Amino acid sequence: MVVLLVGISHHSAPVAVRERFALTGDDGDRMLRSLLEYVSHGAVLATCNRTEIYTTVRNAEVGTRHLQRFLSAWSAMPPDQVATFLYSASHDKAARHLFRVAAGLDSLILGEEQILGQVRDAMHLAHAHNSLDPALYALFRHALRSGKAAHTYTAISRKAVSVSAAAVALARDHFGSLAGCQVLVISAGEAGKLTARSLADSGAGAITVTSRTYERAAVLAASLGGRAVPFEDLPQALAQADVVVSSTAAPGYVLTADEVRAALAQRPERPLFLIDIAVPRDIDPAVGALSGVVLRNIDDLQRLAEANLNGRRQEVAKVEALVDREVRSFLEWWNRRDVIPTVAALRNQADAIRRAELERTLAHLDLSEAERTRIDAMTNAIVKKLLHHPLTYLKANPDEQGYIEAVRTLFALDAPEDHGRRTPARSRSRRGDIPGDHPAPVHPEPVEP
């Protein structure tokens, strides 16, 4: 069995294609239910810019074609067309990819923390559907551990690297806390919305939106959970605000020094933080010279974001090292997973032979109980010493030269009379043409590492 990944992301497809696979609401649940009509075990990882399927198969090539057909049916795109936008990876490459995703190395924004929660959600959803076999369960556990280590022991996710996050960082540095701060958005566009949303998510208080087109302001205000005011009421709204975000397409200044000075006169004890992300600028640069005012423009935000991004880039090597360690740990687990039942089967077989021969021999001897005990101990010690070196070597080198299968073959551990372990010729899945492994175990509720 190998782990198989098939997915689509911002690396492989434009947004017009990715949106065909975007999952919102209960789409993830529906996709997983549909997937389980194709495979015995699986998990669906969905983020803003990726949709990925993880499963276990016997043949990666056959499994990839199978999942391509599934994704073709899901997206209503022809199989050949879908295949051009999909990527796939198996086993250690699939594990490395997921661990890098969880650590924020494969995101549009380097070091993004939100992705770790989405990996956790994918694991919990698959757990709820009982669709995690031991391999997938271990894969996602290691992925969560990889992501948590990256965010805990490196600075890959620290400091703002987007314009909107940089605006929040500057505002927080100015106010100390954004709790209760009143936000005024002079915009009805996406840039203003993103910055206002970041401020709201960081604890800012009520949001007021104004624009020359009141209807557009009302739509944006509704999406932010705020209120819209007519553009004519800008002076009053400015006097009440603590943080102002301006991002319009106006050819001239939306806020002049005189207008800001008039607003300050109505709130002399309250500082005002202005964020101008418009090009051309919305706010007269002279405003920045007023007492009690801090003015930041798009260049300030981009310089901060770029400086922080450079800092994050310096952490990539550390995160890659953590990912490498986690991949090795997962592969070690994988390679050991068949050793324990093989070791147990060989020990049980040897002991069964020893006992049978001992009983046959002792039946013809007139010995005391103490003598019988000493002979039993002697034969047991002989078996243990004979098996010690091969079993120690097998446990230390589980994947070397097919030793596990060699031991099982040489000692006939999969013979019909051996009921302790399934035979290598495992049955095929009833779903599609991807062979199944064993029934998905009932795991305890996942606990993050």
Residue-wise pLDDT for 108-129, tens only, equals 778 888 899 999 999 999 999 9
More confident residue, 422 or 117: 117
What is the tens place of the pLDDT at every residue in 234-282? 999 999 999 999 988 888 899 999 999 999 999 878 889 999 988 888 9
- Write the CB contacts of 362 (distance below 8 Å, at least 6 apart in sequence): 372, 375
Percentage of the chain exceeding pLDDT 70: 91
pLDDT of residue 429: 38
The DSSP annotation for 405-420 comes to HHHHHHTTTTSTT--S
- pLDDT, mean of residues 398-420: 70
pLDDT of residue 40: 92
What are the structure tokens assigned to 376, written together? 């039993």
Percentage of the chain exceeding pLDDT 90: 53
- pLDDT, mean of residues 411-418: 70
Q: In the predicted model, is pLDDT for residue 145 greater than 70? A: yes
Supply the mean pLDDT for the chain.
Answer: 86
DSSP class of 365: -
Inter-residue contact 259 to 293 (CB < 8 Å): no
From the options 1.10.510.10, 1.20.1050.10, 3.30.460.30, 3.40.395.10, give the CATH code of 2-159+312-334: 3.30.460.30
Q: Is the dihedral of CA 436, 442, 447, 449 positive or negative?
A: negative
Q: 243-246 and 272-276 as β-strands: parallel, antiparallel, unpaired?
A: parallel
Q: In the predicted model, is pLDDT for residue 399 greater than 70? A: no
Which fold, 163-305?
Rossmann fold (3.40.50)
pLDDT of residue 302: 84
**b/e per residue, 245-280, with b = 16+ CB within 10 A?**
bbbbeeeebbbebebbeebbeeeeeeebbbbbbbee
pLDDT of residue 448: 37
303 — pLDDT class (breaks 50, 70, 90)? confident
pLDDT of residue 278: 86
- pLDDT, mean of residues 49-66: 94
The Cα–Cα gap between 103 and 111 comes to 7
51 — pLDDT class (breaks 50, 70, 90)? very high
| pTM as predicted | 0.64
Q: In the predicted model, is pLDDT for residue 439 greater than 70? A: no
- Write the CB contacts of 425 (distance below 8 Å, at least 6 apart in sequence): none
- pLDDT, mean of residues 64-93: 94
Domain ranges of the chain: 2-159+312-334, 163-305, 338-410
Inter-residue contact 43 to 125 (CB < 8 Å): yes
The Cα–Cα gap between 27 and 39 comes to 18
- pLDDT, mean of residues 380-385: 93
Inter-residue contact 408 to 349 (CB < 8 Å): no
The Cα–Cα gap between 171 and 125 comes to 37
The Cα–Cα gap between 133 and 2 comes to 12
What is the tens place of the pLDDT at every residue in 365-378? 999 999 999 999 99
Cα 279 versus chain centre, distance: 36
Length of the chain: 449
More confident residue, 435 or 168: 168
Catalytic site positions: 48
pLDDT of residue 436: 38
DSSP class of 426: P
